[in-house]
Amino acid sequence: MIGEDFTRALRAGFTLVTVTTGEEGRARQLIDLACESLGLRTTYWASSADVSMRAALEAGAADAEVQVFLDPGPFLGDPQVIRLLREVGLGARRAIVVLLGSSVDLPADLERETAALDLPLPTREELSALLQLIPPDERRGWDLGAFSRAAAGLTMSEASRAFALARAERDAGDALKRVIAQKRRALKKSATLELVEDDIPLADVGGLDVLKGWLASRVVAYSDEARAYGLPEPRGMLLCGVQGCGKSHASKAAATVLGLPLVRLDFAAVFSAPSPEQALRDGLRAVTAIAPAVLWVDEIEKGLGGGSAGMLEAHQVRVFGSFLTWLQERTAPVFVAATANDVEHLPPELARRGRFDEVFFVDLPSPTEREDILALTLRRRGRRADGISLATVAKPLDHFSGAELEQVVSSALFRAFSQKRELLEEDLKIAAREIVPLATLYEEKIQALRAWGRARARKASADRRVLDLFDS
């Protein structure tokens, strides 16, 4: 809790503290309580005050007083303000200063003299306490545990509004749906996170039998029996391999089989934010609050790679370091499902054991897997394969990815429908001949990718009949 961290920071001798949060009211309440426990008073400054921030810092604090500056961001470009804050941090001034805002960016050399604190999102216990304030007759039939889990990831004010809307529902199930809907809206406002609602069972993933078996074995890890047995909660998986072969599809299926919500982290949105580091911290903090959950990071190399370490910009290096630290040290039950196509730009530190449980290589599908993918695609389109030998169609399509096989089915269906007849085997064969697969266009790249996979990852499929097309 921020109150405990704040107390420890003051007792450790820090005289300059930053508190980053969008929940000003909650933060002020916790700071006031912490200061009261230490016998200190709090005074607050805002930009609307008659006294400027510089003048307030120059005046210093009275005995047993903590100065809290609200939303100081616009004033941190003033060299004189930074100089005064440096003197506070070094103990050259009789003052204890707190900088409180949604974003507090200090110069790197000043950060070393600062205790930087983040206000975490409300815990399940805090949300349960908030629920207890609702009159019992207005929450009749509510499972408080389910409601606190549904509200996890919301701020206290967002949770209050969600519960207020839920009180209008007579049915407990409808009330719970209201809370979930509010969380969905809150995450949509996030610059970095998206709640993905695709419900994809493992049976809808073609091939990848080793990967699917590994996922199925992890389902039990979230039970009370598993914890009593000493099983650790799964940390996640990194899926590398050929583009269009089902990595993203498998990541979505992971959430379904584990029975957890799926949240997508968008690194493009992280880097487009005014403060990428803060955007990442906010996103990871929200995911941690939602946990247990699956965090899906698609094409992670585009967010954390992009070239050699020396070519990365300073903010990229900081974001990369923060994400690696979180991957290694996270204690919340967040299962990370990351995918990568371009392994040349994949930072080697990312695949180190401890950050993921397993690194899988997803190759082009084998003949049997190609047949399965064709059959699954037809079923999803509501079509039967009567009179069609899918094995015959699949056999020569060595270079085809799963996505390209789906395109074969779509093109064949368009052909049959335009002629107002049922699908024929010949339609599939004609459609296949009209597609030039990426593996044909980029033979050297696929060859290098497979060489990487053989040396550094576990095969996602047990079928050894995958033809290594590029070995001579």
419 band by pLDDT with thresholds 50, 70 and 90: very high
Per-residue pLDDT for 378 more than 90?
Answer: yes
pLDDT of residue 68: 93
Across-strand partners of 117? 19
Q: Distance between CA atoms of 450 and 470, rounded to whole angstroms?
A: 9
Predicted confidence at residue 218, as pLDDT, reads 86
What percent of the chain lies above the pLDDT cut of 70? Answer: 95
Average pLDDT of 282-309?
Answer: 77
Cα–Cα dist 23/4, whole Å: 17
pLDDT at 311 over 60: no
Q: What is the pLDDT at residue 467?
A: 44
pLDDT of 305 reads 59
Indicate the pLDDT class of residue 407, thresholds 50, 70 and 90: very high
> Span 321-327, mean pLDDT?
87
Average pLDDT over residues 385-394: 90
Of 168-172, 194-198, 247-251, 417-421, which gets the smallest average pLDDT? Answer: 194-198
Whether residue 6 is predicted with pLDDT greater than 70 in this model: the reply is: yes
Give me the pLDDT at residue 106, please: 85
**CA R_g for the chain:** 27
Edge to edge, what strands does the sheet with 358-362 contain?
A: 193-196, 262-265, 293-297, 334-340, 236-241, 358-362, 458-459
> Residue 299 carries which DSSP code?
T
Distances (CA, A) of 32 to 46, 47, 63, 193: 16, 20, 16, 32
Mean pLDDT of 27-55: 88
**Mean pLDDT calculated for residue range 269-293:** 83
Mean pLDDT (the chain) is 84
Highest mean pLDDT among 21-25, 27-31, 177-181: 27-31
pLDDT, average across residues 432-451: 84
With a cut of 80, say whether residue 48 has pLDDT above it: no
Choice between 307 and 159, residue whose per-residue pLDDT is larger: 159
Residue 244 gets the label, from left (phi > 0), alpha (psi -120 to 50) or beta, of: left
CA distance 394 to 60: 78
Residue located via tokens 């009749």: 140
pLDDT band for position 428 (cuts 50, 70, 90): very high
- 238 neighbors 351 (Cβ within 8 angstroms): yes
Q: What three-state secondary structure class fits 319?
A: helix
Mean per-residue pLDDT, 255-260 = 86
**Tokens 């979180």 belong to residue:** 326
Give SS3 for 458: strand
Instruction: Residue 12: count other Cβ atoms within 10 Å of its Cβ.
Output: 8
**Per-residue pLDDT at 189:** 67
**Could you report how far apart the first and last alpha carbons of the chain are, in Å?**
61
120 pLDDT above the threshold of 70: yes
* pLDDT surpasses 60 at 469: no
Report which listed range, 167-176, 308-317, 348-357, is most confident.
167-176
Task: Give Cα 226 distance to the centre of its chain.
Answer: 25
Decide if pLDDT at 307 tops 70.
Answer: no
Across 210-230, average pLDDT: 84
In this prediction, residues 147-176 reach a mean pLDDT of 85
**Dist CA 320 CA 353 (whole Å):** 17
Please provide residue 119's backbone torsions phi and psi, each rounded to the nearest 5 degrees: -80, 115
Sheet holding 16-20, edge to edge: 41-45, 65-70, 97-101, 16-20, 115-118
